[in-house]
Amino acid sequence: MSKAKLHAPLIKLRQRFRSFLDRNRKKAFAYPYIIWMALFVIIPILLVMVYAFTKAGIGFTLENFSGINVYAPVFGRSLWLAFLATIICLLIGYPTALAISRTSARTQRIVLMMLMLPMWINFLLRTYAWMSLLENTGLINRFFGAIGVFELVNSIGESLSASWTPIDHFQMINTGGAVVLGMVYNYLPFMILPIHSVIIKIDPFVIEAAQDLGASGKTVFRKVIFPLSLSGVISGVTMVFVPSVSTFVISKLLGGGTDMLLGDLIEMQFLGAAYNPHLGSAISLIMMIIVVVCMSIMNKFGEGEETAVVM
**Which chain residues interact with other proteins by CB under 8 A?**
203, 205-206, 208-216, 219, 223-224, 227-228, 230, 306-307, 310
Which CB sits closer to other proteins, 145 or 227?
A: 227
Which CB sits closer to other proteins, 224 or 250?
A: 224
CB of 299 to other proteins, least distance (A): 15
Residue 85 CB neighbours (<10 A): 28
Which CB sits closer to other proteins, 207 or 298?
A: 207
Cβ burial of 92 (10 Å; 0-12, 13-18, 19+) is middle
- Taken in order 3, 9, 14, 15, the sign of the CA dihedral is positive
CB of 191 to other proteins, least distance (A): 21
CB of 63 to other proteins, least distance (A): 49
CB of 207 to other proteins, least distance (A): 9
CB of 223 to other proteins, least distance (A): 7
Q: Are 90 and 233 in contact (CB under 8 A)?
A: yes
Helix (H), strand (E), coil (C) string for the chain: CCHHHHHHHHHHHHHHHHHHHHHCHHHHHHHHHHHHHHHHHHHHHHHHHHHHCEECCCEECCHHHHCHHHHHHHHHHHHHHHHHHHHHHHHHHHHHHHHHHCCCHHHHHHHHHHHHHHHHCCHHHHHHHHHHHHCCCCHHHHHHHHCCHHHHHHHHHHHHCCCCCCCCCCCCCCCHHHHHHHHHHHHHHHHHHHHHHHHCCCCHHHHHHHHHCCCCHHHHHHHHHHHHHHHHHHHHHHHHHHHHHHCCHHHHHHCCCCCCCHHHHHHHHHCCCCCCHHHHHHHHHHHHHHHHHHHHHHHHHHHHHHHHCCC
Which CB sits closer to other proteins, 136 or 231?
A: 231
CB of 56 to other proteins, least distance (A): 53
Which CB sits closer to other proteins, 82 or 198?
A: 198
CB of 213 to other proteins, least distance (A): 4
Which CB sits closer to other proteins, 228 or 295?
A: 228
d(CA 204, CA 217): 13
Which CB sits closer to other proteins, 55 or 222?
A: 222
Which CB sits closer to other proteins, 51 or 94?
A: 94
CB of 227 to other proteins, least distance (A): 5
d(CA 174, CA 159): 29
